[in-house]
Structures are given as structure tokens and as C-alpha cells.
Amino acid sequence: MAQFEFDSSIKGALPADFQWGYATAAPQIEGAWNKDGKGLSIWDTFGHTPDKVKDGSNADDTARSYDLYKQDVARMKRYGVTAYRFSLSWSRIIPLGGKDDPVNEQGIEFYSKLIDELIANGITPFVTLFHWDTPQALEDRYGGMLDKEKYIPDFNRYARVCFERLGDRVKQWITYNEPGVYTLAGYAAGVHAPARSSFRDLNEEGDSSTEPFIVAHTELLSHAYAAKIYKEEFKPQQKGTIMITLHGNWNEPWDESDPKDVEAAQRAQEFEIAWFADPLYKTGDYPASMRAQLGDRLPRFTPEESRLVLGSSEAYGMNSYTAFYVRHRDAEPDINDHKGNVEVSDTNKHGVERGIESDTPWLRTSPWGWGKLLRWIWDRYQTPIFITENGTTAKGEHDFKPKGPDDVLEDPHRIDFYKSYLSEVAKASQEGVVIKSYFGWTFTDNWEWAAGFTDRFGATWVDFDDPEKPRYAKRSAYFLRDFFGHLIKGGTN
């Protein structure tokens, strides 16, 4: 076993009750896409549509976690995790999705068994209700989240079923994963399900200038209603908490001495993060910078809706990976702009790169921006932070040829990533930023949405060419176990 050296100045920097582990999403790992009564999701449809996924693959089997969950939980225990964040497949629980549609007992039973297995192994479940996989039936009936009046009762009922059937054991609920990415990739760029945009060479339907903001509004309101249901009907007995998880990377001025670039970086931050976080944690409304650019294309909250949304999330769920340099644009914003009218760059005015390349073009190791982002979120929202996703791919991992079941893939790039990012978490914690958890993305290599199997984010290598989907540890899994033993107060290292 490799021995790792750790910085003594950050030993015990994280509180004793800090929870860490890995995050996953049902469509990316489960497989069993049509097994035991599961209905279709929009990602099943997307994966079976030609030319949508980079390598032509689909999520029919992916990592087969539906069948191999006991093996996976045993591996998590070996990795030393204290928590596991996973999502429920709405269409596995309610195959047609709607408020009057039947519940699939086999779907409930699967998640119930998974939760029991985690708890029996001393692992705390963090459960996400929605990780991008809207039931296809709701998309077909009324356009899914584009119809807020029809969608909200359906989501409310789904949430209530989950709280009723699983909430006796689940104490950490997350309503939505990255509502902004779901809207931008699915309705602005049209490169994710449900594949809508203004670009007719790519998508037959959609309007990139309006639909993302309509969908985001639906997500915020449906989150708030579900949180209200939980707090009023279930929390008094179940004693859990409920939050939402937001995406957002750090935006740094291209020229830090140019006030226009400084302003542009802040505006980019607001378009990406404050779009959701300001209504939830600060003002009950969208940022003024967004209203100034978008006008009436940005929906408005009624006073009642504003009160409902503000304070609905009991903590700040944070997903973040990298940082970018941004430069102001003097030209009028494009009708389909969602970034705040900025130019995004890999280098700044002085030619400084934002970080070391991974195996994923947008993702570079940028701990300097990660540290700034942690403080920006804390300063702006003063809400305890649960880091719910962070991780990286690494070049060359597709070529791994394991020699035996105990072979370990050496992944120094990922270890360096985790070491540098977690050092920033530790330092921020020492400064008084309240950070409660860290979930690496992800537990096993998986089906990375439109990238298919071309992006390997896992701490566990999966042989996707073998129908049994055998797993092999990556060195970073053992590194994280030891590093958290050093970082958490009262730990073993």
C-alpha cells in the first residue's frame, strides 16, 4: 500500500462529524433500464436515439449497480467512506411519473434494500430525488417542466412517496441535482435530454432564449413545495434535513486590473450560481444583473412564491469542479446567451493557464478558484455548505489492463486533484467557513451522459467490455481514505 505524506498544518481541520464518501446518479450506474417494472426516463430515450451520445452507447447496463449493489457497498466500506450520495430513479418508483399513476413496489424495494445495506455497514445515505431523469411519460403528456402547473403536483406526489417509504431511515434529502445544468444542457444547448434548443441542426424543437428560464423557475418552485411537504409532514417525526444541490464553477477576471472584467466575472458568477442561490438563500428573487439582461424572459415570483422559495433549502449543496477566466463583452448580448455576456478563456491576460488538463476538455485542476468559490458562497449566503460533488477524469485510464482482481490503477492526476482541492476545504474550514461534507464524483466509472463511457470519473475502474462489469480500485480511493483520516478531527492519520 502506498504511503502518503500530509500537511501537518491542516491536521484535524474538519469537524469530527464531517461526512465523506462518493456521489452517483441512478441513470449513470444502475443499468436494469427496463427491469422489474421500471418505466422509461428521458435519458433512456436519449441514449437510444442515434448520434446523441459521443460513443454511441446507452445506459441499458452501465455499471450494473442495480444488480451489484451489495458488492458496491462492501467496497465502499473498504474505502472507509462514512456516507454515500445516490439518486432515486423517479420512473423506477412511479413508472409513468404522475400523481395518479401507480407506484412500482419492486422499485421501492430496491432502494429500501440499498438503504438498509448502507446503514448495516455504517454508511449514511444522502438521497437525491431528481438527478436529471424525468419520466418520459410526463415529457410526452405535457412537456415536463415546461408546464409548471401540471408538473408540480406530480413531483410533490413523487417526493411524498419517497418520504413516506424511505424517510424512516433517510435523514439527508436533496431535492434536485444541479437544476442549472439540467436546464442549460437540456434546453439551451440541447446536448442533453430532453434535447431541446433553438438550434434546428441539433434539435427539432425548443427555444434557448426562454425555455431554460421557464424550466429553472419550475425547478425552484417544485423544490420549495417538496421541502415544505417534508418539513411540515415528515420532519417532526423523521428528524431529517432537506436541501438542493447547485452547480457552479469559479469565474476569475481575465484582466484583474480592468473594472469591466471584474464586473463581468461577478456577473458570470451570478448568472451561473446566484440564478438559483439568490432566490433560495438571499433575496427570494433572481439577481438584478440577470433581470437587466433578460427582462421579461426571466419569470417573476409572486410574493407568496418568493416567501416559499426563500429559506426552503436547509443547507447549501455545492457541486463544483474547476475555474475559468472571463472577459467582458462590449457587444449586445446574444438572444441565446446564458453566461452574462462574457467571453470565457483557459488563460488570463498574462497567459497564465487556469489549471492542468484532465481527460475532459472543460475540466482542469484549479484549486485556487475552488478556494475562492468556497469563500464566495459562504460570504454571500452564510449557509452551511455540503460539498456534494467534486472530482476529475485522468488521461490514459481507458488503457488500463488489470492483471488480477486485486490490481490497482495508479491515478496520480486524481490524487493530486483531490489533495489540492481538499487542502483548500481544510483551510476554508479553519477560517470559519462551515463545511459539513465532501462527496467525490464518483464511486465507479459510469455512463457520463452524452459523453457515454468516454469520461472515467470513478475512484473505481470498471471493465465495461465485460458483461459482469468487474471493478478494480484506483489508488485515489485509498488516498482519500487516509487523507480524511488526517483532515477530520479525531481521525486516524
Could you confirm whether 389 is annotated as catalytic?
yes
Name the active-site residue from 389, 397, 424, 448.
Answer: 389
- Asked if 200 contacts 211 with a C-beta cutoff of 8 angstroms, the reply is no
Question: What's the angle, vertex CA 448, arms to CA 193 and CA 64, rounded to 5?
Answer: 105
Indicate if 431 belongs to the active site: no
CA dihedral 70, 75, 80, 81 (to 10 degrees): -50
Strands ordered across the beta sheet of 323-328: 250-253, 323-328, 342-345
Counted residue by residue, the chain has a size of: 493
Judge whether 271 and 290 are in contact, CB under 8 Å.
yes
Hunting for cell 481527460 — which residue is that? 359
To the nearest 10°, report the CA torsion of 239, 241, 242, 248. -170
Question: Choosing from 30, 117, 139, 178, which is the catalytic residue?
Answer: 178
Cα distances from 469 to residues 55, 64, 117, 283, in angstroms, run 18, 7, 21, 47
Catalytic residues: 178, 389
